[in-house]
Amino acid sequence: MSVFIIRRLLQAALIVFIMSLIVFFGVNVIGDPVYMLVSPDADQADIEKAIERLGLNLPIYEQYFKFLNGAWQGDLGDSFVFGEPALKLILHHMPATFELAFTALAMAIVIGIPLGLYSGLYPEQKISKGIMAGSILGFSLPTFWVGLMLIMLFAVMLGWLPSTGRGDTAKLFGLQTSLFTLDGLSHVILPALNLALLKISLAIRLTRSGVREAMGQDYVKFARAKGLNTSRIILVHVMKNIMIPVVTVMGLEFGSLVAFSVVTESIFAWPGMGKLLIDAILQLDRPIVVAYLMIIVLFFVVINLIVDIIYSILDPRVRLQDQGA
């Protein structure tokens, strides 16, 4: 067991190292950040000074060693644009993205599952067909366009919700979040809905197919024969069975909600990590791009590592196969 874990840890370390190479050198091939940063009025000497200040005059491998040396001590470099540690900036923007992702996930569950349940129970009804057609739209419409349409409808035409930005925040467990103020909530609804649209559709389809399959199964027939009322059959027995895949998929989708919030964040001027990343890419703020990707890599490596370890505990075959290999 411990051999397995040590082996996995070494592999994870190797992956992180290789990714740091790919990310660092990949980012450094594109353009030259100096021309994005200096004022056009700067003359040649000013430009050279700026290059030196940013450490871009060093050969690329030296820059990489400097980065590795810092990364080892938890320092992923300073942002070229903001002059502050990249890690600090990313952590600062993280709560905004997570509250968006959480709200979107909550919406997917609260809206998607009941709709999926309904259309699974009454597949022939017009409403169910409407729900299914809607879910196709949810899958296929581009987030960018839907976001603008949501703003046009709810902010510009109806004037119910604010168009862009994040609302007032309140402190909760040391984190600033906008989910516990009225103003904050009104700001989060539109971007979260935009982000959630695809996940709602996914939840509808998963639930519907699960319900349709379950309704024909023996345990449902037996429950009916036993005289249980319909609501108990559906809410207790069917739901219990179909929730397993739904929960698994939704859990996985949370990661992609965080990662794909980029488009939604830029449309709604939402100050999250995605907006930070896209701005950094456009301005060639390399340290932020590298730090962001390294954090994501680490995030996934750790998740996979935990999953692997849990698997190996739950299922001895995984361990045995690994040893045999």
Partner 1 sequence: MTMKKALFGVAAIAAFAAAAPVQAEKLIIGLASEPTAIDPHYHNLGPNNALSRHIFDRLINQDEKQRLKPGLATSWKPIDDLTWEFKLRPGVKYHDGSEFNADDVVCSFKRAPDVPNSPSSFATYTKGKTVVKVDNLTVHFKTAQPYPLMGNDVSTVPIVSDSAGCNAATEDYNSGKAAIGTGPFKFVSYKPGESIVLSRNDNYWGDKPVWTELHLRSIKSGPSRVAALLAGDVDMIAGVPTTDIETLKSNKKLQLSQGVSNRVIYLHLDQFRENSPFVKANGGGEIKNPLLDVRVRKAISMAINRDAIVDRVMEGVAIKAGQLLPEGFFGVSSKLEPVAYDPKGAKGLLAAAGYPDGFEMTIHSPNDRYINDAKIAEAIGQMLTRIGIKTAVETMPRSVYFSRASKGAKGLPEFSFILVGWGAGSGEASSPLKSLIHTYDKSKGFGSSNRGRYSDPAVDAVIEEALRTVDDAKRQDLLAKATEMAIENVAIIPTHFQVNTWAAKKGLKYIARTDEYTLAIGVLKE
Residues that bind partner 1 (CB under 8 A): 30-47, 49-50, 53-54, 78, 80-84, 89, 92-93, 148, 151-152, 155-156, 159, 162-166, 266-269, 271, 275-276, 279, 282-284
Indicate the residue among 1 and 156 with the shorter CB distance to partner 1.
Answer: 156
24 vs 77: CA distance, rounded Å: 12
214 vs 122: CA distance, rounded Å: 13
Indicate the residue among 3 and 269 with the shorter CB distance to partner 1.
Answer: 269
Indicate the residue among 107 and 276 with the shorter CB distance to partner 1.
Answer: 276
Q: Among candidates 195, 189, 127, which has minimal Cα distance to 153? A: 189
CA 71 to chain centre: 24
The length of the chain, given as a count of residues: 325
Sign of CA dihedral 233, 236, 239, 244: negative
Indicate the residue among 12 and 148 with the shorter CB distance to partner 1.
Answer: 148
Shortest approach of partner 1 to residue 178 CB, angstroms?
10
Shortest approach of partner 1 to residue 188 CB, angstroms?
13
Contacts of 72 (CB under 8 A, 6+ apart): none
232 vs 226: CA distance, rounded Å: 12
Single-letter residue type at 285: D
Q: Which residues pair with 78 in a beta bridge?
A: 85
CB atoms within 10 A of CB 93: 21
Shortest approach of partner 1 to residue 106 CB, angstroms?
23
12 vs 20: CA distance, rounded Å: 12
Q: How many helices (H) and strands (E) does the chain have?
A: 16, 2
Shortest approach of partner 1 to residue 254 CB, angstroms?
23
Single-letter residue type at 121: L
Indicate the residue among 12 and 54 with the shorter CB distance to partner 1.
Answer: 54
Shortest approach of partner 1 to residue 199 CB, angstroms?
22
Indicate the residue among 242 and 267 with the shorter CB distance to partner 1.
Answer: 267
Shortest approach of partner 1 to residue 119 CB, angstroms?
33
Cα distances (angstroms) measured from residue 8 to each of 2, 180, 324: 10, 41, 15
Shortest approach of partner 1 to residue 153 CB, angstroms?
10
Indicate the residue among 32 and 62 with the shorter CB distance to partner 1.
Answer: 32
